[in-house]
Amino acid sequence: MSLLTKVLFRKKIPKILAGHIKNLSTQNENVNNDERETHFGFEKVKESEKQHKVHEVFENVAKDYDVMNDAMSLGIHRIWKDYFMCSLSPTHNTKLLDVAGGTGDIAFRFIDYVKTENLNDCHVTVTDINANMLEVGKIRSFNLKHEPSLISWQEGNAEQLPFKENSFNAYTIAFGIRNCTHIDKVLEEAYRVLQPGGRFMCLEFSHLENSAAQWAYDQYSFQVIPVLGQLIAGEWKAYQYLVESIRQFPNQESFKQMIEEAGFRQVSYENLTLGVVAIHSGFKL
């Protein structure tokens, strides 16, 4: 190789490599910029960021979650959840999966229902993506002296459940699905883990039927709930997000259509308290 060729080689190769590295960097930036956005309350965030942000919210509010539920709803959430369980109407041999149920509110009502009705061979599995919420539920369950054979706990993501298909004959999710990044994936997973004939039930905040009532509800939500969050849990932003997330959730008819698109049949919904919350139901047939 001549001296001239060596000089040119040495000068060109670093430039070529530098250009190649720059192109790769630009491509990576474009991939990140092209990532789909979703909502975190009223804020727009990358889809990959939402799960972490939601996880942080519930990690921070876990220990005061039940107290805040009482304060925000003036205790009415207890009636909603009682009615929700009565609507499910468990029978003998009900194997329930309660998703996003970390603190145990729905699971404990299931156990009470099973005992009251003297139902046999029933069990509830509670799953939640947040370990802190599950710990709160486990402590509550221990203090209530629940039989270990009736309840089990499993950390898991509603969008990718750690269970085999056709594992349960009932699925519940209460006030949790609106916090998920991909609601369609949650519904698909619910369908997958349910046995044929199994029932899907969701209790979630929704949209009021009356515009004047909706206005009054909005005033209470935005003016009062974050203040309560600050006073009781020391968490203004977390409860500001919770209020905003309710407004971003699909209305009753739109959510019903999503459930049908996931494969469920005989899909219906029932409004409670003028539509502050709604119960959605469907069957895997």
Q: Are 127 and 99 in contact (CB under 8 A)?
A: yes
Cα–Cα dist 40/114, whole Å: 37
Backbone angles phi, psi at 118, to 5 degrees: 55, 50
273 carries a ligand binding annotation? no
157 carries a ligand binding annotation? yes
103 carries a ligand binding annotation? yes
Structure tokens at 136: 């709160």
Cα–Cα dist 256/247, whole Å: 17
**Residue 101 in 3-state DSSP?**
coil
Structure tokens at 124: 């509830």
User: How far from chain centre, in Å, is Cα 48?
Assistant: 15
Backbone angles phi, psi at 207, to 5 degrees: -120, 135
158 carries a ligand binding annotation? yes
* Annotation: binding site: 103, 128, 157-158
Q: Cite the annotated binding site for S-adenosyl-L-methionine by residue number.
A: 103, 128, 157-158
